[in-house]
Amino acid sequence: MASPSSPVNTSGPLADSAGFGLKDLVPTKWGWGRKQPEKYEVLAWNQFSWKLVFAVIFGWPAAVIFYLLGFNLSKWTLVVYLVCAVLSAFPILAAALYYHSRLVSSTHTGNPGKYLTFRDKAFEAQWKGKRVPILELYNAYIQRKVDINGDLLTALYDRYEFADFVFTKGHVEFFLFKLIPEALWHSRTQDKEQVTDHYDRGNDFYGYFLGETMTYTSGIFYTPEDTLETAQYNKFDLVARKLHLKEGDKHLDIGCGWGTFIKHCALKYKTNSTGVTIAREQVAFAEEQIKRAGVSDRAKVLLMDYRDIPQAKYNKISCLEMAEHVGVLRFSTFLRQVYDLLEDDGLFYLQIAGLRRAWQVSIV
């Protein structure tokens, strides 16, 4: 399916001639949506007593050592002190965050009965009349134990009336047994299991909510009238402008997904684009749409781990929300690999999904 010839809304903010205008990233005036009520806009991160937390982390081992040994300090005393401080840091921090989240949450009861309809008796007995922790609400909604009344988007604007943003046992388990292992090493086996299990579950499944572009990264909406497809093509053209894509460029897209971006670059900018993914379903979809667009001579997809990308030189490289799969310890190695693949005067565009500035929005 050929991409629109010029999907960007020209009345919206556009990049400067070099393609690096900050105003290009977001509209200067949205004019739609709904502002969060003021009582929810104070960030709990800024209210938290970090000095007290770190005083406890570093203070308790000092107090114990002083009580037991007095001022008879030695090298080994310092080692014991540091070990105790480091080992106690996580449980103390977790306890402090848990306590503070519960303390803030307790000041607002909300109106859950207006928004929630329970299907499961046990879940209803546990949470009827209460705001449900967001993690448990998410899982219960997927398992059809609870319904959210009315239009989902409208309800989500009022999410603090029925959802509770507090730490739970599930968060601790996720942090210890999934986030830390995944963030640190990301072995080939680990990546293959995660990515193929996720992305090879069926292109029809993803088509239901990704739409025509089959793009799993954020789009850019310049106006309320922009469709999901238009927003994705807006994003494609933004990246293309920042990469200064032009005819004949040798372009590599690491983590290309279903290949719509490389097809778009080859079709609109006449680039020679290569995509890389380890999901077979994505490769099959990409090859088919590249063929239909008539750009098989300028666009191709490789089924391989990013670590196996053949050594070659590209003058433009893009990576849209794939770097999250690299892992913290391997990230510098990944950047070195990109450096070695890039021409000396080439350009690299990296987009990484960010984190919220605060772990919780407080209720004041």
User: Which amino acid is it at 72?
Assistant: N
Confidence of residue 11 (pLDDT cuts 50, 70, 90): very low
pLDDT category at 35 given cuts 50, 70, 90 is: low
Confidence check: pLDDT of 178 > 90: no
Average pLDDT, the chain: 83
Tell me, what's the pLDDT at 110? Answer: 87
**Is pLDDT larger for residue 79 or for residue 314?**
314
Q: 38: pLDDT confidence band, cut at 50, 70 and 90? A: low
The pLDDT value recorded for residue 29 is: 46
Residue indicated by tokens 């010029």: 6
Amino acid at position 356, single letter: R
| pLDDT in the model for residue 28 | 43
* Three-class secondary structure of residue 304 per DSSP: coil
Q: pLDDT confidence of 48, banded at 50, 70, 90?
A: low
**Phi/psi at 52 (5° precision):** -65, -45
Nearest alpha carbon to residue 133 among 123, 122, 121: 123
For the chain, percent helix, then strand, then coil, each to nearest 5? 50, 10, 40
Q: Is the pLDDT of residue 13 over 80?
A: no
Bridge partner list, 253? 275, 318
For residues 180 and 201, the model is more confident at: 201
**For the packed helices 280-293 and 260-268, what is the interaxial angle rounded to 10 degrees?**
20
- Range of weakest confidence among 51-65, 118-132, 167-181, 336-350: 167-181
pLDDT value of residue 356: 55
Give CA–CA dist 230/215, Å, rounded.
12
pLDDT of residue 22: 37
Percent of the chain with pLDDT over 90: 51
The pLDDT of residue 256 is above 50: yes
Question: How far is residue 156's CA from residue 115's CA, in Å, rounded to a whole number?
Answer: 10
Q: Where in the chain is the domain with CATH 3.40.50.150?
A: 22-31+200-351
**For residue 47, what pLDDT is reported?**
62
* CA angle in degrees (0–180, nearest 5) for 188-184-88: 150
For residues 75-98, give the mean pLDDT: 86
Specify the fold of 22-31+200-351: Rossmann fold (3.40.50)
Most confidently modeled of 143-147, 170-174, 360-364?
Answer: 143-147
